[in-house]
């Protein structure tokens, strides 16, 4: 049996005091990719409820991004202090969102929560930077590392992403170790 290689995702999610500094910098030095409306629907198996574990370690998501559909599974790795710098991520494009949703429900998957967000995406060097407005929450910045993972550890890359925001003068950074679905489920 061929085992698919793991895809590692390293990202930080923060609320920043001064988002204007970041946006001004990105307009001048970054490459604008897209503005998208994303509706993410999260599921859990009934026999293994993902939200019974704290912190939540796994997510299964269906995404509708302006009519482009994908399915995604994440398995987070947490330090003893409850913080995480990376996860295994498996993602694939799908053609028919509603049919995949019906398949998941037929397999006894329960819908947990929907995350409705407006996202602006920028590229700067090895970073994909998303500025998100999340319905019923607030605005956030997500930075995902897209460079070579062989040269540095996830913790080093994470610190560099946080340093990047600090050096721009974005003010106080409030880092979130739980994703949007967790924040909506456990407000």
CA-nearest of 67, 59, 60 to 96 is 67
Q: Is residue 130 part of a domain?
A: yes
pLDDT at 106 over 90: yes
Strand spans (E) along the chain: 8-9, 11-16, 31-45, 58-65, 68-78, 84-94, 109-124, 127-134, 139-145, 173-176
CATH code for the domain in which residue 174 is found: 2.40.320.10
Q: Is residue 2 part of a domain?
A: no
Q: Is residue 154 part of a domain?
A: yes
Neighbours of 150 (CB within 10 A): 5
Alpha-carbon gap, residue 17 to 28, rounded angstroms: 20
pLDDT at 2 over 50: no
Q: Is residue 33 part of a domain?
A: yes
Mean pLDDT of the chain: 92
Residue 129: domain span: 10-185
pLDDT at 3 over 80: no
pLDDT at 55 over 60: yes
* Share of residues in the chain with pLDDT > 70 (%): 97
CA Rg value for the chain: 17
Per the CB < 8 A criterion, the answer to whether 184 and 115 are in contact is yes
Per the CB < 8 A criterion, the answer to whether 18 and 170 are in contact is yes
pLDDT at 81 over 70: yes
Counted domains in the chain: 1
CA-nearest of 187, 186, 185 to 42 is 185
Alpha-carbon gap, residue 50 to 52, rounded angstroms: 6
Model confidence band, residue 167 (pLDDT cutoffs 50, 70, 90)? very high
pLDDT at 42 over 80: yes
In this prediction, residues 149-155 reach a mean pLDDT of: 86
Model confidence band, residue 6 (pLDDT cutoffs 50, 70, 90)? low
C-alpha 101, offset from chain centre: 20
Q: Is residue 20 part of a domain?
A: yes
Q: Is residue 1 part of a domain?
A: no
Q: Is residue 145 part of a domain?
A: yes
């Amino acid at each position: 049996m061929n085992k698919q290689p793991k895809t590692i995702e390293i990202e930080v999610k923060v609320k920043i005091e001064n988002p204007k500094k970041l946006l001004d910098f990105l307009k001048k030095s970054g490459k604008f990719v897209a503005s998208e409306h994303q509706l993410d629907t999260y599921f859990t198996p009934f026999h293994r409820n993902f939200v019974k574990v704290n912190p939540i370690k796994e997510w299964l998501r269906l995404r509708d991004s302006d009519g482009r559909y994908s399915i995604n599974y994440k398995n987070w790795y947490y330090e003893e202090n409850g913080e995480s710098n990376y996860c295994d991520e498996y993602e694939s494009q799908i053609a028919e969102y509603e049919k995949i949703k019906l398949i998941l429900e037929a397999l006894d998957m329960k819908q947990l929560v929907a995350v409705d967000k407006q996202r602006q995406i920028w590229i700067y060097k090895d970073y994909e930077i998303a500025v998100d407005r999340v319905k019923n929450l607030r605005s956030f910045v997500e930075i995902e590392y897209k460079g070579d993972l062989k040269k540095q550890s996830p913790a080093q890359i994470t610190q560099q992403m946080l340093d990047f925001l600090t050096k721009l003068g974005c003010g106080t950074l409030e880092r979130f170790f739980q994703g949007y679905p967790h924040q909506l489920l456990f407000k």
